[in-house]
Structure 1
Amino acid sequence: MEFDTLEDVWEFWVKYGRQVGFDVRKHYINKSKNDGKITSRGFVCAKQGIRGKEKEDMIRTRNRDDTRTNCPVRFYVSLVRESGKFKVSDFVGEHNHTFHLSETVYIMRSQRKISEVHAGLIELASSSGIKPKAAHELMSREAGGRANLGFTELDQKNYLRTRRQKNLVYGQAACLLGYFQDQLTKNPSFQYGVQLDNIEQITNIFLANARMVIDYANFGDLVTFDTTYGTNIELRPLGVFTDFNHHRGLTVFGAALLYDETAESFKWLFESFLVAHAGKRPKTIFTDQDPAMAKALSEVMPNTYHGLCTWHIMQNGIKHLGNLMKDGSSFLQVFKTCMFELNDENEFEKTWEDMIDTYGIHDRSWLDGIYKLKGKWAKCYMKNEFTLGIRSTQLSESLNGDLKDYLKSDLDVAEFFEHFDRVIEQKRERELQAEFNARQKFPQLGLKNSPLLKQAVQVYTPVIFRMLYDQYDLASAARIKNCQEDSLVHTYTIEFMHQLGEFIVSYDTTDKTFACSCRKFEIFGILCCHVLKVFDCLDIKTIPDMYILKR
């Protein structure tokens, strides 16, 4: 046989090995000293030769199985100078080992190769968060079976690892800065910050893309900040700034990978956050019970109300006072009552003291510490703060769940942020779906002729409209017990039939403003049923513009 090129020879030998059922490899190569041309080339069975003695004598952590059988099969070609072709000069075809099954020949090393097309699909699947096993299964089915794909799942994993190593050839810092530069090229509004240590290595990283900047401009009156999710192999804390959007869905304002959780790191982070968002400070921020975080917030955002996550407080309470919650004890329920239900400060103080006396708490160190912070977690002390009904940082739990589904511990920093961007895009897609539904269909009006409800269904998103509708419904069950009118302020006492408690609504006739003792509008952003009852008394048929928040 004659071949035009050595590539043709190798292609023939690979196909021959596949047909017969043995793996192949290249052997020797000879070149002319005069002109450097290849004069002869050898190809053999992959089982040719035996393991060298020096390898046998090496001390290994584990012994590898033998693959060589000193198989004599060979296929040598030599260059014919006159024609420039390669002609078979020697061939031995008798093997000394069993052949592979036709169903398994695709696993042989010589039969496996990742094409450019498949390489692109592997990278696309990886950047989309599709796990290698699932991606390999999909490509196998598309090719008509694993035997037709051309590579194994192990080849796929090795390809991704090699690509990652190439990306990190200049180190993680350079790779990260390259990622930031790429983001800036796509959108100049992308914001980022890095903090260096005393040997100029990157420690803390903050970023906010253009969408986060826009969302913060609209919804940045309240922020929750959570660092409970540890990511990558070093378990560096991931800090995420979040809040509700106008559909009561999660929106993200920024993210950070922190080297540690010291006051200095948090101070740098909060300062970077404000720089990214043009210095706009939120009215309220919720965090966990971290002293370092509290110290940094008091320095960077002294005028922002700092609330504590009730979920973290409950977990710490169980940790420190779990012995008081055994054997059917109602201690936890009383503690929750102090936290979530009591509206009057005097009632809170009495209930708190009764709780301590009833359960005979001797070690009060944790309780005394949390009591000093009552203004950050007790409902009765938060009546003047804008919270949107949020009392915890658990808003970010759905985000943490998505991150755990898609992120792996061996990711480098740049890869981590690429995958984080993808998770944020999924959240954004849910917001767009909610936006589509809000424009596509409207909630049914139980009272079809109400001007106020007709207005509300137009200006509010469906989820906010339903909240207002519930207040409108409650207003129908309320009655005005008493009304005092003077030249400037009218005061209304509102009560519900068969329910204890009264609410005071004052109406300033000068600037046409309302204030209710429940402070629902100041806290939650929508009018309460008590004010809506007074609307009915004053024959006000629509919501004044000042009571429809921009958010």
Structure 2
Amino acid sequence: MSFSVRKDYLNNDKDGVTTSRRYSCCKEGVKRKYEGDVMPKRTRVPTKTGYGAKMVIVLLRGTMKYRVHDLVLEHNHELHIAQCAHMIPSQRKVSVAQGFQAEISEDAGISLKQSHELMGKEAGGMSNVGYTRDNLKRYLRTRWERSLKYGEADSMLNYFQEQTLENPSFFHAVQLDCEEQITNIFWADAGMLINYNFFGDVVTFDTTYKTNKEYRPLGVFVGFNQHRQIVIFGAALMYDETIDSFKWVFGTFLEAMCRKRPSTILTDQDHAMAAAFSLVMPQTFHGLCTFHIRRNFMKHLGNHYKESSDLPYMFGACMYEIEEVEQFNRVWEAMVKKHNLENNEWLSGLYRIRDKWARCMMKERWTAGIQSIQLSESLNAAIKNYLKLDHDLVQFFRHFNRVVDDKRHNELIVEYEMRQKLPMVGLRQTPMLVHAADTYSPTVFVAFQNEYGESTAMVILK
């Protein structure tokens, strides 16, 4: 049988030496009655049972030893069984090592429940951990409050300063409003800047993901590396999606990249974004991501899609397959007439800007194949695995770094496999394929080899 001990009053002399102290059962005492007119919304469950077991010790000056002065052994409540001894308050404490492990687990995205269960496995059972899940929750909350003791804004700036000290190439910028409140934030670490220098010819920019309960847009500049993997060039946490905000983000992006503009940038059909882009980077071709167009197709033509099974196929052919302008116009006209879409404003508007998305109209534009890849969907899925709506700014940046680290680790895996495995050349007697296998990355070589094989089946008509 067991009970929890509480430290009560303490008396010290002028030199700081403890002269007396009282220890009591944690259930000793009487709950204080509430004297206000309005009852509090949250009331604690009563645990006090009156006056019970206690022990008072005093210091004997002659021998400088402590003696028990008062002792009451009787309890006026039922004692805890031995199996619950680890749950009583005086036996619960998160050690320094356990706290450090809990912080690492939280930074790695492991939930509180999973972290506690893991420590239970390591200790040989929950009774050997030394604390409960509530203790761990309070410990992590204290850590969170400590990290935000200067407020979210100052904590974020401290985070940026730490990143800059770690690597001076880290770039960050903050936009303030007339009241000197932070509105838009942009950042890019050294790895992002290096990747843009190599692979920044074609960039996509997406603000689909909303970061927190205030639904602030997260804008991410993304591209492909030599393995056709997603690489992040920079990110912006935006206050809103207005022309002024987009102008600042695009301008700051160019500043971070030493004014080197991309050849092509692909975005969704947001009008404010398009207007800002034309002002900041007028010489860069602005295309539309087909992923967003397909999603808007379902939004604006969903009813027609249910009634007509061939509508999405005809639309998809115009977007991805048809390579000649004349054929595109014929199929488009047939699709519009067949499904009575002559008066559909969204479809008519899309046709007017067909040079930004149709394959036949973009043959002369360098898009690195990103146009037909659901790049935004892939990245947003990865972000959702790491970021939660209840994250504060510091937690957001910490977990966003996990997304970046995950992408870079995947790149290392492919780099290893590229050096470990030899490319499979289908026609080894073909010098072009042999040379391509030695020159291209495995992913690009496979695409080239497939296209080369298809070219041998072509028939020249004229």
Same-fold call, TM cutoff 0.5: yes
**Counterparts of 1:151 and 1:398, CA distance in 2:** 40
How far off is 1:402 after superposition? 2.6
The answer to whether the 8 A contact 2:219-2:236 is kept is: yes
How far off is 1:52 after superposition? 1.4
**Counterparts of 1:42 and 1:58, CA distance in 2:** 35
How far off is 1:56 after superposition? 9.1
How far off is 1:389 after superposition? 1.7
Call closer, same or farther: CA 1:345–1:477 in 2, change over 3 Å. Answer: closer
1:306 aligns with 2:286: yes
In the other structure, the counterpart of 2:358 is 378
Match of 1:276 among 256, 264, 268: 256
In the other structure, the counterpart of 2:383 is 403
Deviation sequence 1:313-354 (CA, Å, 0-9, x none): 222222222222223442232222222222222222232233
**Counterparts of 1:81 and 1:295, CA distance in 2:** 84
Deviation sequence 1:337-379 (CA, Å, 0-9, x none): 2222222222222322332222223642222221221111111
In the other structure, the counterpart of 2:224 is 244
**Counterparts of 2:294 and 2:452, CA distance in 1:** 34
Give me the CA root mean square deviation. 1.9
1:23 aligns with 2:4: yes
In the other structure, the counterpart of 1:463 is 443
The answer to whether the 8 A contact 1:113-1:151 is kept is: yes
In the other structure, the counterpart of 2:240 is 260
Call closer, same or farther: CA 1:362–1:456 in 2, change over 3 Å. Answer: closer
Deviation sequence 1:260-297 (CA, Å, 0-9, x none): 01111011001111111111111111111100000011
The answer to whether the 8 A contact 1:229-1:237 is kept is: yes
The one-letter code matched in structure 2 to 1:142 is: E
TM-score scaled by structure 1? 0.80
The one-letter code matched in structure 2 to 1:293 is: M
SS for the counterpart of 1:387 is coil
Deviation sequence 1:493-536 (CA, Å, 0-9, x none): x35xxxxxx6xxxxxxxxxxxxxxxxxxxxxxxxxxxxxxxxxx
The one-letter code matched in structure 2 to 1:151 is: Y
State, as a whole percentage, how many aligned pairs show the same letter: 48
Call closer, same or farther: CA 1:36–1:131 in 2, change over 3 Å. Answer: closer
Deviation sequence 1:446-489 (CA, Å, 0-9, x none): 3233322222111111111111211232343345xxxxxxxxxx
Call closer, same or farther: CA 1:66–1:58 in 2, change over 3 Å. Answer: farther
How far off is 1:35 after superposition? 5.9
How far off is 1:39 after superposition? 2.5
In the other structure, the counterpart of 2:335 is 355
**Counterparts of 2:4 and 2:240, CA distance in 1:** 52
The answer to whether the 8 A contact 2:291-2:376 is kept is: no
SS for the counterpart of 1:68 is coil
**Counterparts of 2:394 and 2:86, CA distance in 1:** 35
**Counterparts of 2:289 and 2:339, CA distance in 1:** 25
Match of 2:267 among 287, 290, 296: 287
In the other structure, the counterpart of 1:540 is none
In the other structure, the counterpart of 1:417 is 397
The answer to whether the 8 A contact 1:132-1:153 is kept is: yes
TM-score scaled by structure 2? 0.95
The answer to whether the 8 A contact 1:286-1:393 is kept is: no
Gaps of 5+ in 1: 1-19, 480-493, 496-501, 503-551
Call closer, same or farther: CA 1:31–1:92 in 2, change over 3 Å. Answer: same
The answer to whether the 8 A contact 2:386-2:402 is kept is: no
**Counterparts of 2:389 and 2:125, CA distance in 1:** 31
How far off is 1:434 after superposition? 0.2
The answer to whether the 8 A contact 1:225-1:393 is kept is: no
**Counterparts of 1:373 and 1:403, CA distance in 2:** 31
In the other structure, the counterpart of 1:95 is 75
1:106 aligns with 2:103: no
Q: Relative to total residues, which structure has the larger strand share, 1 or 2?
A: 1
Call closer, same or farther: CA 1:193–1:442 in 2, change over 3 Å. Answer: same
The one-letter code matched in structure 1 to 2:159 is: Y
Call closer, same or farther: CA 1:421–1:36 in 2, change over 3 Å. Answer: closer
Structure 1 stretch displaced more, 151-160 or 445-454? 445-454
Call closer, same or farther: CA 1:334–1:477 in 2, change over 3 Å. Answer: closer
In the other structure, the counterpart of 1:189 is 169
Deviation sequence 1:142-198 (CA, Å, 0-9, x none): 122221211111111211111111221111121111111111111111111111111
Runs of 4+ in 1 over 3 A off after TM superposition: 34-38, 55-58
SS for the counterpart of 1:236 is coil
The answer to whether the 8 A contact 1:403-1:423 is kept is: yes
How far off is 1:312 after superposition? 1.7
SS for the counterpart of 2:449 is helix
**Counterparts of 2:283 and 2:15, CA distance in 1:** 82
1:440 aligns with 2:420: yes
SS for the counterpart of 1:230 is coil
1:86 aligns with 2:60: no
**Counterparts of 2:454 and 2:342, CA distance in 1:** 45
Larger radius of gyration: 1
**Counterparts of 1:159 and 1:220, CA distance in 2:** 43
**Counterparts of 1:407 and 1:321, CA distance in 2:** 32
**Counterparts of 2:311 and 2:454, CA distance in 1:** 33
The answer to whether the 8 A contact 1:288-1:393 is kept is: no
Gaps of 5+ in 2: none
How far off is 1:71 after superposition? 4.4
How far off is 1:215 after superposition? 0.6
1:344 aligns with 2:324: yes
SS for the counterpart of 1:231 is coil
Structure 1 stretch displaced more, 224-233 or 406-415? 406-415
